[in-house]
Amino acid sequence: MFDPSDLTVKQARSRLCELDVAGLEAVLDAELAGKHRSSLVAEIGRAIDMLKTAEEAEEAEEAAPAPVTPPAPARQTITQGEWYKLRRHEKARFTASGNGLYTEKQ
């Protein structure tokens, strides 16, 4: 933590990224007790909000369940007779799997 009263607003702003939420709150208290510069108070408040939002987002990511992937649809199997009745573009969806059967390609 640093004493913001010893620094200009610009210098204090550049050092805010060094602090965590507790440090920012301590600097905010020191600024309110000291010079009470509204621009620096607002900047510290924004920095605190950003850190808290980032922490909440990380917690939400950790708590979120893993996405469920649906099972692959079952491949259709047809007989050779059914395959011959299909149109040419429909036949392209199937491959011969032996024993007179045709299985839909993935």
pLDDT score of 98: 85
The sign one gets for the Cα dihedral 19, 24, 28, 30 is: negative
pLDDT score of 22: 93
pLDDT in tens, the chain (106 residues): 789 999 999 999 999 999 999 999 999 999 999 999 999 999 999 999 999 999 888 888 787 787 888 887 788 999 999 999 999 999 999 999 888 999 998 8
pLDDT score of 73: 78
Task: Determine the Cα–Cα distance for residues 48 and 65; give it in Å rounded to an integer.
Answer: 28
∠ CA 31-36-40, nearest 5°, is 70
Task: Name the β-bridge partners of 79.
Answer: 101
Long-range contacts of residues 85-93, Cβ cutoff 8 Å, at least 24 apart: none
Task: Determine the Cα–Cα distance for residues 86 and 2; give it in Å rounded to an integer.
Answer: 79
Domain boundaries, the chain: 4-63, 70-106
Task: Determine the Cα–Cα distance for residues 39 and 16; give it in Å rounded to an integer.
Answer: 13
pLDDT score of 1: 78
pLDDT score of 62: 80
